[in-house]
Amino acid sequence: MTEKNRNIIETSDEMNIPLPIPENEIKEYYDIFTVEKNGDSIRKLCREANIIPNVKDIQIPIISGITLYSYLRFFNAFSSVTKVDVYVNGKKIASNLCYKSFTRYYKAFPGYYYIQIFKSGKTTKPLFVTNIQLIGYQIYTGAITGIDDQLFFALINDRTFQIPKGKAALRLIQLSPNAPLMDACLDNTLIITEIDFSEVSRYLLVPSEIHILKIRDYINNNILLETAKIKLDEICAYTAYVIGNFNCTNSAVGLEIIIEIEGISFLKF
């Protein structure tokens, strides 16, 4: 590739997410490795996995409409740990990710990835490890949640679809492990019912205007949460994440709604 082309075409060298792991090797990564501590060990174990910093000779051009890739971001909804570090295939891609915070969207190629979640600044005794598979031309949010020492990782797909003018899309994701079954009402109209932990509602098309979202206990109909007035812009998609410890009276980590615009509203392939 010429120097001129390097200046106008993004390549895999510029991506924060490393290249995926071959499917037949992904299980090997459950021996907990990080590049900082075990670079040589990883290289010996999986010679073809491009996760080591000295693998610099492979460059994949990223060309819109031609190169197959996805988008991935991470969301810290784990109220028991205020800050975490996120490693993908042994590479740290998010440092000090605060509770209730999102990373930006990263480009990633389709395939398998090994995810490690650590307390901020730690590289041993991970809070959680898992592997995920990404499919091309999709947009994902990796949500980190749980309670006490029980962590749960949810890979959430932001379904791409056309939103008509004058409308916005809204869905609810329940990420509070100890919250009761709940209903959601938009402007006092029931829109979602009996949603449980880790469940993702379908997108609902609503008028692009100011709304109030209420979360009610499914059993007794008591109001659990209520937002201030929120403006949903047209041709945009939003997710209302219910997070936090239901049994905690501390407002910093108690039950809460985080409403975030989704990547389908502005990302392009």
> Is residue 42 over pLDDT 70?
no
* Position with higher pLDDT, 64 vs 234: 234
In this predicted structure, what is the pLDDT of residue 129?
94
Instruction: Give the 3-state secondary structure of 151-194.
Output: EEEEEEECCCCCCCCCEEEEEEEECCCCCCCEEEEECCEEEEEE
* Position with higher pLDDT, 106 vs 13: 106
> Is residue 43 over pLDDT 70?
no
In this predicted structure, what is the pLDDT of residue 28?
66
Q: Alpha-carbon dihedral of residues 160, 24, 73, 17, nearest 10 degrees?
A: -120
What architecture is domain 3-157?
Sandwich (2.60)
Which of 7-16, 175-184, 186-195, 229-238 has the least mean pLDDT? 7-16
In this predicted structure, what is the pLDDT of residue 72?
96
**Predicted TM-score (pTM) of this structure:** 0.84
In this predicted structure, what is the pLDDT of residue 252?
78
Mean pLDDT of 184-198: 95
Q: Which fold has domain 167-265?
A: Immunoglobulin-like (2.60.40)
Separation CA 264–CA 269 (nearest Å): 10
Domain borders along the chain are 3-157, 167-265
Contact 75, 141 (CB under 8 A): yes
Q: CB within 8 A of 247, min separation 6: which ones?
A: 178
Separation CA 134–CA 101 (nearest Å): 22
Separation CA 87–CA 123 (nearest Å): 9
